[in-house]
Chains A and B, each alone.
Chain A
């Protein structure tokens, strides 16, 4: 096993936490009930998202460059192209594809309509469960991965429940 393989695993662990923080902050930033000024919560969400993208990029680049796992660049972008733990790797590949699309549309937000950007951005919600499923299916050689996935799940679920509970009902009279 090479150093690249260990970097792959460590970037996956820290990246999972960063993705969880990114989604949690995204949920909180979009909530009308949040007491934090929106410009602050959105800036924090963007910064953490940049960190998560950097860690995921490092994870993908190192796993593809490492000869320990026989993966090609095609395997890293096309789901089910890899033979190594095909289902778990495909879920991770799908997550990377979603992340690329969401990040690209966020960078091009000024050139898109708000409706189009929001529609694409909401698919980012799928990114987080994909990342957790990928970690649980592929990261089977280390117990810490399960704890990290569990630790990342708690704030996301708490934020989602809080937002669902604080959102006004459709029929509410204001």
Chain B
């Protein structure tokens, strides 16, 4: 192989390496763009319905309100009782005996 041919071969190898490197850099840049996009997108609200979740999730109430009928008068006494179990649904009872 002459010196001209060897120089041309070395040049081709260098260019191939360069293009491969810049290809990797390009993929990395695209990945960085995607990662930054993902970081910038604000989180969706938890109550927003999705395709799998057609039924809206009921919001838990910290307390339940029970209207206890008064035996002495018609005025109801409102008692706020702490919700003691997650299975208990909020109860709102009104009325008089």
Interface residues of A (CB under 8 A from B): 1, 3, 6-7, 9-11, 13-14, 18, 37, 39-40, 43-44, 47-48, 51, 55, 142
The distance in angstroms between the C-alpha atoms of A142 and B14, with both chains bound, is 40
Closest Cβ of chain B to A39, distance in Å, is 7
Quick one: which of A13, A18, A40, A44 contacts B36, CB cutoff 8 A? A13
Interface residues of B (CB under 8 A from A): 11, 14-15, 18-19, 22, 25-26, 29, 32-34, 36-37, 40-42
Whether B33 and A44, one on each chain, are in contact in the complex, defined by CB atoms closer than 8 angstroms, is no
A-B contact count (CB 8 A): 50
Interface of chain A, main secondary structure: helix
Given contacts A3-B41, A6-B41, A40-B14, A14 and B32 within 8 Å (CB-CB): yes
Whether A39 and B15, one on each chain, are in contact in the complex, defined by CB atoms closer than 8 angstroms, is yes
Closest Cβ of chain A to B41, distance in Å, is 5
Whether A9 and B26, one on each chain, are in contact in the complex, defined by CB atoms closer than 8 angstroms, is no
The distance in angstroms between the C-alpha atoms of A172 and B27, with both chains bound, is 45
The distance in angstroms between the C-alpha atoms of A172 and B95, with both chains bound, is 105
The distance in angstroms between the C-alpha atoms of A9 and B34, with both chains bound, is 11
Whether B18 and A47, one on each chain, are in contact in the complex, defined by CB atoms closer than 8 angstroms, is yes
Quick one: which of A9, A10, A37, A44 contacts B22, CB cutoff 8 A? A44
Closest Cβ of chain B to A107, distance in Å, is 18
Whether B42 and A51, one on each chain, are in contact in the complex, defined by CB atoms closer than 8 angstroms, is no
Whether B33 and A43, one on each chain, are in contact in the complex, defined by CB atoms closer than 8 angstroms, is no
Whether A9 and B40, one on each chain, are in contact in the complex, defined by CB atoms closer than 8 angstroms, is yes
Closest Cβ of chain B to A19, distance in Å, is 12
Whether B37 and A10, one on each chain, are in contact in the complex, defined by CB atoms closer than 8 angstroms, is yes
Closest Cβ of chain A to B35, distance in Å, is 8
